[in-house]
Amino acid sequence: MTFRPTLLVLFFIAFSMVHAQEIKAPKFGDGILNLKGKDSTWSMKVGMQLQFQTFAQWDEDSSFSDAETNFLIRRARLKFDGFVYSPKLTYKIAIGLSNRDISGASKYTSNAPRYILDAVIKWNFYENFELWFGQTKLPGNRDDLISSGSLQLVDRSLLNTNYGLERDLGIQFRHHFQLSDEFIIKEAFAISQGEGRNITSGNIGGFQYTSRLELLPFGDFIKKGDYVGGDIYREHAPKLAIGASYDFNHNAVKTQSNRGSYMITDTGFYETNISTLFIDAMFKYRGFSLMAEYADRTADDPLAKNSDGSLTGDVVKIGSGLNFQAGYILKNNWEVSGRFTNIDFDKSITLKDLQNQYTIGVSKYILDHKLKVQSDVSYLAMNLSNDELLWRLQFAVHF
């Protein structure tokens, strides 16, 4: 893995300006460097995320000695955020450096790796109203919206793998208000390109429209804990968040709405309308946490066809999924957690019929999610192929 010249230029520009700025040395976990203009018209926090992982995987016909094993840098990211001109005008930039983050180079990304994860400006233009411009996560399912650095288990669930939404380019509108002293309602709406992140040539199909509504009947969680895995902040009173998202991708050209591979025919691209519904909830109280998710995806015609009606082999992943995970954090910051995930693809498509995955995990939070070690074991029961066993161990540090 090599650092590109553009990244070196970013560091050179940032550090060459240090002598003219007010420097705040942050504590561990609050970024590598905090910069603030002398006239308080801008700020920048520089952060880094690293995840080192090893795993071993078996199927039911293989022995432990035949396991597929690997060591990898799961994530390596640089992050920049702050404000410009006014604290009401903020920005976020996240750059991926690991192969898993930058894979996917194609003619649709100018044959270049996909370095940029987030590049978004957020404008709090009036009271509780915000406009977002740029590339960032769409307001989809909760598991995807939880940062990869704040996950309860080593990685996200199979529900998110098969039905979750990708980052995309577009505009988002966000708002929240209170029905009472505690009851909070949050709304989000997005219009995006519909083909995922870093697309430079498009829009091939139509636009993607995503909306989300959240209810927090008992008030906000500590430190936005409704989007943090596990109850590491130990809510002193019961807290509940219920969310629902609906996504419509008009004339989508990828197998997973704005994710997956392009569907190619003998005359160009195959287009079909794809709809995805998510319903999720998060509950936390005194170290105990429970997260539940449901997803359902449909398409007008999921089987891509050539002009003569023959199948191309490209298939939209339609069907439904359930995910439940829970955990309890002990006073010594060890957590035991478990997850059950069910994936039920529609019988009209010819994909692996994934059924049930059972996961047990153990985490040691040395400094919350900023410095932790996690391990989990998953058993995957499948109808059409061999069952599988997966073990993972991950060390994570987040400056």
Domains of the chain: 48-75+98-398 (2.40.160.10)
Q: How far is CA 192 from CA 131, 206, 300, 317, in A?
A: 13, 9, 20, 20
pLDDT at 11: 53
Q: What is the mean pLDDT of residues 38-47?
A: 91
pLDDT of residue 103: 83
Strands 354-367, 334-345: pairing is antiparallel
For residue range 188-208, what is the model confidence (pLDDT) as tens digits? 999 999 999 998 877 788 999
If DSSP states are collapsed to H, E and C, what string results for 126-146? ECCEEEEEEEEECCCCHHHHC
Q: What are phi and psi of 122, to 5 degrees?
A: -120, 120
How much is the average pLDDT of 32-59? 91
pLDDT at 23 over 60: no
pTM of the model: 0.91
Higher pLDDT, 302 or 68: 302
pLDDT of 7 reads 54
Give the residue among 342, 345, 377, 370 at the shortest CA–CA distance from 356: 342
CB-side exposure of 73: number of CA atoms within 13 Å? 14
220, 225, 228, 241, 346 from 236: Cα distances, Å: 12, 12, 16, 16, 42
Number of helices (H) and strands (E) in the chain: give both, helices first: 4, 24
Task: Quote the CA–CA distance of 303 and 323 in Å, as a whole number.
Answer: 26
Higher pLDDT, 161 or 106: 161
Separation CA 54–CA 394 (nearest Å) = 7
Under the banding of pLDDT at 50, 70 and 90, the label for residue 1 is: very low
Of 29-43, 71-85, 226-240, the range with the lowest mean pLDDT is: 29-43
Q: Are 49 and 398 in contact (CB under 8 A)?
A: yes
| pLDDT greater than 90 at residue 109 | no
First to last CA, the chain: 20
Mean pLDDT of the chain: 91
- Percentage, residues of the chain above pLDDT 90: 77
Residue 353's pLDDT band (boundaries 50, 70, 90)? low
Q: Please, are residues 330 and 303 in contact by the beta-carbon 8 Å criterion?
A: no
Higher pLDDT, 65 or 290: 290
d(CA 259, CA 139): 15
3-state helix, strand, coil in the chain (%, to 5): 10, 55, 35
Per-residue pLDDT for 59 more than 80? Answer: yes
pLDDT band at 350, cuts 50/70/90?
A: low
**From CA 57, how far away is CA 110, in angstroms rounded?**
35
What is the distance, to the nearest Å, from the Cα of residue 44 to the centroid of all Cα atoms in its chain?
23
pLDDT of residue 24: 57
E-state strands within 333-387: 334-345, 354-367, 371-382
Out of 37-46, 218-227, 388-397, pick the least confident: 37-46
Looking at residue 10, its pLDDT comes to 55
**For residue 198, which amino acid is it?**
N
The pLDDT-based confidence of 284 (bands split at 50, 70, 90) is very high
Confidence of residue 20 (pLDDT cuts 50, 70, 90): very low
Predicted local distance difference test score (pLDDT) of residue 3: 46
% of the chain at pLDDT higher than 70: 91
- What H or E segment, with its residue span, contains residue 93? strand 86-96
Q: Is 299 exposed, middle or buried (0-12, 13-18, 19+ CB in 10 A)?
A: buried
Residues forming beta bridges with residue 189, ordered by sequence position: 173, 211
Residue 176 CB coordination number (10 Å): 16
